[in-house]
Amino acid sequence: QSVLTQPPSASGTPGQRVTISCSGSTSNIGNHYVYWYRQLPEMAPKLLIFRNDQRSSGVPDRFSGSKSGTSASLAISGLRSDDEADYYCATWDDSLGGHVIFGGGTKLTVL
């Protein structure tokens, strides 16, 4: 059970806008930047968003990140079939001396 809570699944149809949430606490999201990674099937994860809302190089503006309090969200607009993947949030946690934590991941299905 991850310290960062993500819905295990999300879905949408092509062209739709979907949002994936990531819920934490004051020891992590509440006081630190949030990062988002996408993992296509059988591939290594790839950075999508850094510092809450900054898109990584080459990431289209269909992807956007936001943070409010102890929660963060990744929004994908103009959903495409090749957006079907697992999405992970990550941040720093201050407990136990400080360390990186990942969310449990959300599997996005494009219907």
Partner 1 sequence: QITLKESGPTLVNPTQTLTLTCTFSGFSLRTNGVGVAWIRQPPGKALEWLALIYRDDDVRYNPLLKNRITVTGDTSKNQAVLTMTNMDPVDTATYFCAHRPAVAPIRHSWFDPWGQGTLVVVSS
Q: Which residue has the tokens 């992970």?
A: 88
Count of residues that bind partner 1 according to CB under 8 A: 27
Distance CA 86, CA 93 (A): 22
Determine contact, residues 102/3, Cβ cutoff 8 Å. no
Determine contact, residues 76/106, Cβ cutoff 8 Å. no
Q: Is residue 88 involved in binding partner 1 (CB under 8 A)?
A: yes
**Which residues in 13-72 contact partner 1 (CB under 8 A)?**
32-33, 35, 37, 39, 44-47, 50-51, 56
Residues of the shown chain interacting with partner 1 in the complex, contacts defined by CB under 8 A: 2, 32-33, 35, 37, 39, 44-47, 50-51, 56, 88, 90, 92, 95-105
